[in-house]
Structure 1
């Protein structure tokens, strides 16, 4: 056991240092480019969105020449299907595509390319030291955890997120130690390279309030429904673009270009604040400022069009923005502090949309402090259940159902026909009702 600890302490530390450096380089380039495109006119933005689309389309199309390889080049599929093997030849394609998306106005996140960088660098390191297949999978999971920790400045939440996102309802305990070591190392390396992280302390009474807990539970339910809406928008818009491409036999690289045209038309009625990362909207909500009540709908729509049409970008940062805005809006209806509502909504949407309730609770502690810890846990678990068996990650597997009324085969993919409702309880209820009726 001591040898196991020492081995993973060495391997995970090296992985964290490599990933932390790679992710820091990407984030510093993103910050530099964003500063030079932050203040542009509406008409310039409308012209840049289709340009970003065609550049994304061409880069992804010619970068992944093998049909279907773009979809398979993900850390989740690498761990589940390819024993932790990721192509090193394509390591720059997704980060460059994400830089184009985010700096030219696409509505997406920055953690996707960082997890890709982390997983690919970790896979490279694992092959370099000739790890066996099982250890290779673990080292790739460590790279993903390190990537998330470097982006958000939440090493514990990042460590758990990288392994909890793999399978719904199950966390591999043998992954936890190396993931934590890699995440903490990457976080410290990021700070060494000059990255800074924002935290938003939420101060409330240390005395537990059952009344507040009930209202927070209601916010959790509503955030679960918001997550459902976001996932459904993303899936349906992606399906619509695929159907359009097949129906009219449109050249694949033109699909993001069409998505850019749609985005350009929408920003005539939707503020440009919802493009890009939209972090100022999230920060306003977390500081208790007034937000547009339906702002989370506009952000969900723009993200769904951006990613659904074929742009590349992350999916977690949008969850932060959507959750913070939704939580703030619902808090104003339920008599809860807008800042607390925004914090609760942010972690609850992450818990639901990504199916990572444990990581989301830890994120609440790391970003907002421990005083609201019980409320974070309540909202996250509630939203996680309410969203059902759906996810923003198509490669996720279902380890354990969230309900005794839902059945699936072990480690089933989230696909139609793999998950079904058990009607035995409903039949029993019907039987009892019919007996009462006869009596």
Structure 2
């Protein structure tokens, strides 16, 4: 019995140690990501509209880096860093390995994308840096195969928690991201340690301040309001699914058209973004769009802002530029809510918040993490509504999502006859084959 307790505390201390190391490094690296992105986006690009003209050439640089340095063979398996978050998820499942160079590469690519006006976010780079750091810790300490997967989840937790100032969300997101319908609670301690350490390193040690979104007024709980919220959630879920399908469709088409030449794909995508920017006549939908995102909680924004951001982001990321997809989804959901608030006669900030969380939950397939994000982001306001929003958006989005490598361990409905452990990508392929055979 005494030996069991010794083993338990030995493993516990080990998890806390590894989680702390990952949190310290990822928290510092994420602070660098956030500060540099703010500088490039707010201090340089926003004051120099002409930089958008260089986006296609920035795409060539990004493509060259990924083609020249982004592919690493290990154990007779190709690990392509251009797969971004999908490579991190495959590593959690033990199918591939994240190269240590992935973090620096995605950071540099994100900086170029933001500087020249590509529409992107930041959590993707933070998660991939987290995976890169976890891979380095695994290699340095010669961690066994099973524990490697757990530390990889800790890297995800540290990246997300520090990127958004939401440590509780980061804990669950690391355990929930890789698979639908399954939580790896054995990773709880290292994920919790990594996420909270990463968060406090970013905010307390380095003093970074995250954006704030405030709900001005939450309606009283009633059946009518719940019905309106559910109806809105269905709309938010559909727009999230549409974004995911369009983004992946552009990626598949561009890879086929340019024979997976990353340089040509990104150059062409950059040209399309430049043309779209000239057509729109403003750069509100380039970069991260944080200013309009915050504005959507306070006053009315252009009614089709959500659709413009959807197109800009799908083209940017689908053609090979890099960054995150959470902030674009926040933007899409919040601005769509902003456009719909008068139709349902609900407060503008409340509906914007519903859209932000619903779009993220539907796209990421992480309802528990999305609920915790709502609690941390909005200080616990509207708890009952957000709980329903996260569940409904998760269920109604079907087996679609941002990351095709996510495994479906439990189908969202009995109507889907899926074998356990199937990926979203394979499910999509099966659907296409069925349609072709009909």
Q: After TM superposition, is the score higher than 0.5?
A: yes
- 119, 126, 129: which one aligns with 1:107: 119
Instruction: Give how far 1:372 is off.
Output: 0.3
Residue 7 of structure 1 corresponds to 14
Instruction: Give how far 1:64 is off.
Output: 2.2
Deviation string 1:281-326 (CA, Å, 9 cap, x unpaired) is 1101123x10222211111111110111111121111111111111
Partners of 2:219 and 2:225 within 8 A in 1: no
- 45, 59, 67: which one aligns with 1:61: 67
Equivalence map 1:140-179=2 (5 Å): 140-179=152-191
Partners of 2:130 and 2:156 within 8 A in 1: yes
TM-score (structure 1 length as normaliser)? 0.89
Mean CA deviation greater in 179-188 or 24-33: 24-33
The answer to whether residue 370 in structure 2 is matched with residue 360 in structure 1 is yes
Equivalence map 1:12-411=2 (5 Å): 12-40=19-47, 42=49, 44-65=50-71, 69-71=80-82, 74-82=87-95, 85-191=97-203, 192-202=205-215, 204=217, 207-246=220-259, 251-270=261-280, 271-287=282-298, 289-411=299-421
Partners of 2:24 and 2:198 within 8 A in 1: yes
CA RMSD of aligned residues (A): 2.1
SS at 1:277's partner residue?
Answer: coil
Structure 1 57/337 Cα, relative in aligned 2: closer, same or farther at 3 Å?
Answer: same
Partners of 2:103 and 2:130 within 8 A in 1: no
In 2, Cα distance between equivalents of 1:279 and 1:177? 33
Which segments of 5 or more consecutive residues in structure 1 lack a partner in the other structure?
422-439
Instruction: Give how far 1:202 is off.
Output: 2.5
Deviation string 1:105-153 (CA, Å, 9 cap, x unpaired) is 0001111111111111122112222221111111111111101111100
Deviation string 1:47-83 (CA, Å, 9 cap, x unpaired) is 1221222121122121225577234562111111347
In 1, Cα distance between equivalents of 2:218 and 2:286? 36
In 2, Cα distance between equivalents of 1:205 and 1:34? 33
SS at 1:272's partner residue?
Answer: coil
Partners of 2:121 and 2:323 within 8 A in 1: yes
Structure 1 409/71 Cα, relative in aligned 2: closer, same or farther at 3 Å?
Answer: farther
In 2, Cα distance between equivalents of 1:65 and 1:418? 26
Greater Cα radius of gyration, structure 1 or 2:
1
Instruction: Give how far 1:25 is off.
Output: 2.1
Q: How many residues align?
A: 415
Instruction: Give how far 1:412 is off.
Output: 0.3
SS at 1:189's partner residue?
Answer: helix
Instruction: Give how far 1:33 is off.
Output: 2.5
- In the TM superposition, structure 1's runs of 4+ consecutive aligned residues that sit over 4 Å from their partners are 65-68, 203-207, 416-421
In 2, Cα distance between equivalents of 1:370 and 1:101? 34
Partners of 1:277 and 1:318 within 8 A in 2: yes
Instruction: Give how far 1:414 is off.
Output: 1.4
TM-score (structure 2 length as normaliser)? 0.89
Partners of 2:409 and 2:420 within 8 A in 1: yes
Structure 1 35/206 Cα, relative in aligned 2: closer, same or farther at 3 Å?
Answer: closer
Structure 1 359/35 Cα, relative in aligned 2: closer, same or farther at 3 Å?
Answer: same
Instruction: Give how far 1:100 is off.
Output: 0.3
SS at 1:382's partner residue?
Answer: helix
Partners of 2:247 and 2:314 within 8 A in 1: yes
Instruction: Give how far 1:2 is off.
Output: 4.1
